[in-house]
Chain A
Amino acid sequence: MLFSSVSFLFAFLPLAVCVYFVAPGRHVKNLVLLALSIVFYAYGGLGSLAVLGCSILANYLCGLAVDHFRDVPRAARTALVVGVVVNVALLASFKYLGFLAGSVSAVSGISLPVPTLIMPIGVSFFTFEGLSYIIDVYRAKAPAQRNPLDVALYMGLFATIMSGPIVRYSQFHEQIRGRSDRLEGLAAGAKRFTVGLAKKMIIAGALGTLANSAFATPDVDLSVAAAWLGALAFTGQIYFDFSGYSDMAVGLGQMFGFRLPENFDYPYISQSVTEFWRRWHISLGTWFREYIYIPLGGNRVTRLVNLRNILIVWALTGLWHGASWTFVVWGVYYGALMAVEKFVLGDRLERIWRPIRHMATMLAVVVGWVIFKSDTLGGALQYLQTMLGLGGQTLVDGRALFYLAQYRFELIIAVVASLPLVPLARGWWEKSERSALARGLFTAGTALVLAALLIVSTSYVVSTTFSPFLYFKF
Chain B
Amino acid sequence: MSKRWENIVVIAVFFGFLAAVAVGGLVQKDRAKSTLEERALAKRPPVRVADIASGKFGRDLETYLSDQIFLRDGWLFLHSTLNMRGLGKVEMNDVVVGSGGALLGDLSGHKPMSEAKIGTELDATIAQFKELDALVGSYGGKLLVVGHPTKNSFLRASYPTGFGFPEDYTRIAPRYFAALDSAGIANVDMAPILEQHRSEGLYLLTDHHWTFRGGYLTYVAMMERLGLKPLAEADLDIQTLPNQFAGSFNRKLAMAFPETQKLVIATPKVPIPYARTQDGKPSPSFFKNHAPGVGVSYRIYDQGDLAEIVVDTSRPSLPNVLLVGDSFANVIETLLWTGFNQSRYLDLRHYTATSLYDYVRMYKPDVVITLVRDERYLYRVGNGLFSGSGAETDTE
Q: Give residues in A with beta carbon < 8 Å to B.
A: 1, 5-7, 9-11, 13-14, 17, 42-48, 183-184, 186-188, 190-191, 193-194, 397-403, 405-406, 409-410, 436, 439-440, 442-444, 446-447, 450-451, 454-456, 458-463, 465-474
Contact = CB atoms under 8 A, between A and B. Distances in A.
Given A6-B65, A403-B162, A446 B38 contact: no
Contacts of A17: 15
B18 A14 contact: yes
A472 B40 CA distance: 9
A447 B9 contact: yes
Contacts of B304: 472
A472 B36 CA distance: 10
- The DSSP consensus for interface residues of chain B is helix
Contacts of B6: 187, 439, 442-443, 446
12 contacts: A1-B58, A48-B55, A183-B11, A399-B162, A459-B82, A463-B75, A465-B63, A465-B66, A467-B37, A468-B39, A469-B37, A469-B39
Contacts of B53: 45-47
Contact of B38 (A47, A191, A403, A468): A468
A116 B293 CA distance: 56
Given A6-B66, A10-B69, A190 B11 contact: yes
A17 B39 CA distance: 35
Size bin of chain B's contact surface = 35 or more
Instruction: Output the residue of B1, B37, B90 with the most chain A CB within 10 A.
Output: B1
Given A466-B37, A473-B40, A13 B79 contact: no
Given A446-B10, A463-B79, A10 B52 contact: no
Contacts of B299: 472
B300 to A, nearest CB: 13
Contacts of B395: 469-471, 473
B281 interface: no
A178 B305 CA distance: 66
Given A447-B9, A466-B93, A471-B396, 13 more contacts: A7-B65, A9-B21, A10-B69, A11-B65, A45-B52, A190-B10, A399-B108, A446-B9, A454-B14, A455-B17, A459-B82, A472-B38, A474-B39
Given A183-B7, A403-B162, A459-B78, A10 B65 contact: yes
A9 B21 CA distance: 9
Interface of B: 1, 3-11, 13-15, 17-19, 21-22, 25, 33, 36-40, 52-55, 58, 61-63, 65-67, 69, 72, 75-76, 78-80, 82, 87-91, 93, 108, 160-164, 208, 248, 251-252, 254, 299, 304-305, 327, 395-396
A187 B10 contact: yes
Contacts of B108: 399
Contacts of A47: 53-55
B9 A401 contact: no
A450 B14 CA distance: 7
Given A7-B65, A459-B78, A470-B248, A440 B1 contact: yes
B76 A466 contact: yes
A401 B164 CA distance: 14
